[in-house]
């Protein structure tokens, strides 16, 4: 049995105010948690889960960036660069893992968990959420973000 890794747990306070993106963030939590379980049980499914995560991240980043463009979020370019930086690191970890560096799996999982938590919940994603809420309140003080 491998080392236990603390799982990501969704909480409504993590909402960015866009149902579509909240659902995608929940799905990312689910895939990363599934990868952690596969690692802990030494499942051969781990590389398939990493591939699933890679595909889903591409879809999610595109969705998120499209919404940022729609709301004219001024930090969109910087946010895009954070996504690109993440992809580069993720691919580097994957390459190392696929080349047989076993310890890398744990490092990759911790990187994924911490990045998702920091990016989605603390640093980057709340920026466009706050921007959108503020812009909606200026246009219509009675509007509610759904």
Longest dimension (CA), the chain: 56
Cα 92 from Cα 119, distance rounded (Å): 19
pLDDT > 50? residue 142: no
Return mean pLDDT, the chain.
Answer: 83
Cα 95 from Cα 109, distance rounded (Å): 14
Which of 131, 146, 118, 136 shows the shortest CA–CA distance to 25? 118
Question: pTM value?
Answer: 0.81
Which superfamily does CATH assign the domain made up of 18-133 to? Hemerythrin-like (1.20.120.50)
* Position 20 confidence tier, pLDDT thresholds 50, 70, 90: very high
Q: Would you state the pLDDT for residue 33?
A: 93
Q: Give me the residue spans of the domains in the chain.
A: 18-133
Interval 78-104: pLDDT, tens:
989 999 999 999 988 888 888 876 567
Q: Return left, alpha or beta for 11; rule: phi > 0 is left, psi -120 to 50 is alpha, else beta.
A: beta
Cα 105 from Cα 126, distance rounded (Å): 29
Cα 5 from Cα 93, distance rounded (Å): 18
Among the listed ranges 16-25, 57-66, 95-104, which one has the minimum average pLDDT value?
95-104
pLDDT above 70: percentage of residues in the chain: 84
């Amino acid at each position: 049995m491998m080392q236990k890794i603390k799982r990501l747990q969704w909480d409504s306070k993590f909402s960015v105010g866009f149902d579509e993106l909240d659902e995608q963030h929940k799905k990312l939590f689910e895939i990363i948690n599934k990868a952690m379980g596969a690692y802990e049980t030494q499942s051969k499914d781990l590389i398939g889960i990493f591939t699933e995560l890679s595909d889903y991240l591409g879809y999610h980043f595109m969705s998120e960036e499209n919404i940022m463009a729609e709301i004219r979020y001024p930090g969109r370019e910087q946010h895009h660069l954070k996504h690109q930086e993440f992809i580069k690191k993720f691919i580097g970890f994957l390459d190392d893992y696929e080349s047989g560096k076993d310890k890398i799996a744990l490092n990759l999982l911790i990187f994924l968990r911490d990045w998702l938590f920091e990016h989605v919940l603390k640093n980057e994603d709340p920026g466009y959420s706050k921007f959108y809420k503020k812009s909606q309140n200026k246009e219509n003080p009675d509007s509610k973000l759904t």
